[in-house]
Amino acid sequence: MSEKFTVLDLFSGAGGLTEGFSIDKFRFLAHVEMDPNAARTLETRIGYHVLRSAGSEEIYYSYLRNEISREQFIAHIRSKNLFDDNIFVRQICDSTIDDLFAQIDATKKKLDIDHVNVLIGGPPCQAYSIMGRARDPNGMVDDPRNDLYLQYIAFLERYKPDIFVFENVPGIKSAKNGDVYKDLFEGFKKQGYIPDHRLLDAADFGVVQNRKREIIVGWKAEYWLQYPEFRKAPSDAMVGDLLGDLPSLLPGQGTDLPQDYRGPATAYLRDSGIRTEDDVLRNHRARNHNDRDREIYRRAIRELEAGKRLHYNELPAELITHKNVTSFLDRFKVVDPSKRSHSVVAHISKDGHYYIHPDIDQARSLTVREVARIQSFPDNYLFEGARREQFKQVGNAVPPMMAAGIAKQIHAMLKCI
């Protein structure tokens, strides 16, 4: 079997899981992502990887430094025939799947790929999320995303990879009273796979975040394989190690364009590769906040400094605007600089109240770059689109450091076949 294994990447998002498999041991047949902003970010990141492989990554850094436009950056890659044109910006559903199969089959032929080794991806998790169900009056039972796992199984049936990786939130196990999870496993087995699962924590992969994810790995029944053993390697770093070198910002300050770092990289940033000597700071722009929210932020920071957490129903009446004062009482939450961060979720695209910067002088929510660091994205990972879209991309992603640990073990499994 070839040393370079072929990956088919579904529900790619901005490329968190993709990033883990973007090493020399794998090549991608195709990426499928319906969000055009996330797909644009993914295209930019693939551009970085192909230029790095060709020894021409300075072109990417010219784009990162805003010395050339994105159009010039993409045009250069295409002129060198480095792009495979294998990002399909399509929704995966009953009405599109046959056309997607045809497009991927054509790409498979063009790239002279005879077999898919690995299928990776996880359907959008909002319909399975416990928090998402709690926020929705109908508990998300009518959400069409509930059935996207069936499309994943359809790709298994079509391409018959040796191994698959299915990622999702822990809440998928209880979605529709457990029926989704049960049906998912039955579908895997029906296609001739042995599926197994673990609840893995990104913190055990060195990510400075407590973030649990259900990771299902399956392999063809004829293979003598077992679920990989992931050696726990948590870091001693805390949130403070991620933020101290970044410029202080007041609400509304900062820019998506290049900025200077405030100070040198911490040991964790250097050792993890999140920040290197060549990196350029981008996506560091603070939201605007009204005076009421900033006062709540300051109160939340003072409470944390006193060793407590702010509860929404304990605020003065003039600061309370939500009718619900019996649940989501921690809706205003400071990221504790002396601990790992709480889990980053896509809701951050709507407001930043759950991710307040711990510096009382700044009294603001985190920027895209700060959240990206919590997710273990390197500073040279540029997020495209409007800021709200950038937040959503980061919040939906698998932390790249976690993804890299998964990819390493999948590679070891493939070598045993």
Entry field: residues in the chain: 417
C-alpha span between 193 and 220 (Å, rounded): 4
Neighbour tally for 55: CB within 10 Å: 7
Q: Indicate the helix (H) or strand (E) that contains 291.
A: helix 291-305
Cβ neighbors of 384 (< 8 A, separation 6 or more) are 37, 40, 41, 44, 70, 390
| Structure letter (DSSP) for residue 56 | -
What is the distance between the terminal CA atoms of the chain, rounded to a whole angstrom? 8
Rounded distance, CA 214 to CA 224, Å? 23
Which residue among 125, 140, 403, 407 is the active-site one? 125
Whether 125 sits among the annotated catalytic residues: the reply is yes
Token couple for 389:
């879209």
Tokens of 180: 């989704």
> What DSSP string describes 134-157?
HHSTTTTTT-GGGGHHHHHHHHHH
Q: At how many degrees (to 10) do helices 97-110 and 148-159 cross?
A: 40
Q: Are strands 118-121 and 163-168 parallel, antiparallel or unpaired?
A: parallel
Distances (CA, A) of 379 to 53, 270, 402: 19, 11, 17
Pairing relation of β-strands 212-220 and 163-168? antiparallel
Positive/negative CA dihedral, 406, 150, 396, 215:
negative
Using the 8-state DSSP alphabet, how is residue 382 labeled? P
* Cα–Cα dist 47/341, whole Å: 30
Catalytic residue numbers read: 125
